[in-house]
Structure 1
């Protein structure tokens, strides 16, 4: 589902609603309440097998059950959002990615002024979940008042002039999530560009790099 279509569907289902100013969207209070109640009453204390059975009761597709169950073991909020979405939208094979959109809106808009144009700015503590949902991802970590960051951003914008179909593009403002990024991805500063396969960092570029270096890493990520 395209992002615009996803948002329209979520608004119709009472998952998202326009903010009072009319500029943008936020998670509907009724949906937040439904997720919080479901999480506390059913999901928070489930073991891995019981969690998968809960997911299987909502989704018929075993691939969806595997993805939501696997990621949900480490992120129960994500699993709960998937369950409530499945009941409101009907079973969908794209529920995991839709849930990631909802999580973004629930947390508020992350800093994005340093993100390359085609990259989605995300919260750093959601990055592990997001990168596990896509086979290939490029993650750009930046900081403010940083000339190498500005140079790398321009290089990435040249590399990804349009949103690719086969690689997910994420950007994180590093200082807000320094401990999380260090523990989960070994990031010690910015700019850092990670080339990730199913949540595992395959390679990284620290600092600003020439377009040829970035292109080479992207090609390797696509070919493996």
Structure 2
């Protein structure tokens, strides 16, 4: 008997995933709130590496940019925010297996959960179909991000770090000043400050995104 919902399998097939062992894909779509033996966490660990190598390979082949610029673009394209954007674009939220309580808390549109499940699906694709097929799928799903020039502008935290150094200030300091919401839909508020200059605060669904937003606000205010 099939363990994977027929609608989920049809959706996976339509988006380029090649399903063999249905239990593997069932796990990739299952959030920890379901309390089942298998969920997406281990597959997400693997998929994160598949995504990173696939994008790094694409950037290396398409650009003669130096290592620093390549790393800057890589970080933007494989970010949790971008993974969630890709997930939303293919309607992943409708097929995640998540508890009623987690759904009520906004889990279906959580940037953290969407990003993690997106990577878990890449992990499943790699285990079933190998790296070549996984890389081709990444290129297909991430094509808008790759072609849009995502990451070509400097990351806000890097821009702030360089601004502080250029103005002979101490390095910026980041502090989580508030964390609210359940684990699967957490909100982080981060304050960034530069000694004898000022501070800025921002809130986002992950610590990294909150730091990025705070750095951006700081530069808009003081840079």
User: Which structure is higher in RCO with an 8 Å CA cutoff and minimum separation 6?
Assistant: 2
TM-score, normalised by the number of residues in structure 2: 0.27
TM-score by length of 1: 0.27
Higher helix share: 2
